[in-house]
């Protein structure tokens, strides 16, 4: 199933900032978002539930890897919705 990926304001701000400040990270995030649209179950995303917070209406939040085995590797935090076939990205951030 293909999904439409939408970005929250915070995620959009980070994405746009990376486009200017760190083109390499931006390209990796863009590739990850594209893969999320076409194959959310791709093993390279290493998608798993993130139990420490939930979406605005109690949705399960998941994390997908942008990078792996990299200091401060970036992650994409997202949930399914608000409609069927939509993924909402709530954060794009380096892993602490």
pLDDT digits (tens, 9 = 90+) for 61-71: 999 999 988 88
- Which of 31, 34, 62 has its CA nearest to residue 46? 62
Q: Where are the domains of the chain?
A: 4-94
pLDDT score at 70: 84
Residue 73's CB is within 10 A of a number of other CB atoms, namely 14
| Tens-digit pLDDT profile for residues 2-60 | 999 999 999 999 999 999 999 999 999 999 999 999 999 999 999 999 988 899 999 99
The answer to whether the predicted template modeling score (pTM) of the entire model surpasses 0.85 is yes
Q: Which CATH superfamily is domain 4-94 in?
A: RelE-like (3.30.2310.20)
Identify the burial level of 51 via C-beta atoms within 10 angstroms of its C-beta, where 0-12 means exposed, 13-18 middle and 19 or more buried: exposed
Query: What confidence score (pLDDT) does residue 96 get?
Result: 67
Q: Name the nearest CA neighbour of 83 among 10, 12, 5, 13.
A: 5
Q: Helix, strand or coil for residue 3?
A: coil
CA 36 and chain centroid, separation: 8
């Amino acid at each position: 199933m293909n999904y439409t990926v939408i970005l929250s304001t915070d995620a959009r701000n980070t994405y746009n900032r990376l486009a200017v400040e760190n083109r390499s990270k931006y390209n990796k995030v863009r590739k990850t978002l594209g893969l999320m649209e076409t194959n959310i179950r791709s093993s390279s995303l290493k998608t798993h539930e993130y139990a420490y917070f939930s979406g605005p209406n109690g949705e399960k939040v998941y994390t997908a890897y942008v990078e792996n085995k990299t200091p401060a590797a970036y992650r994409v935090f997202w949930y399914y919705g608000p409609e069927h076939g939509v993924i909402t990205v709530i954060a794009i951030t380096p892993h602490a």
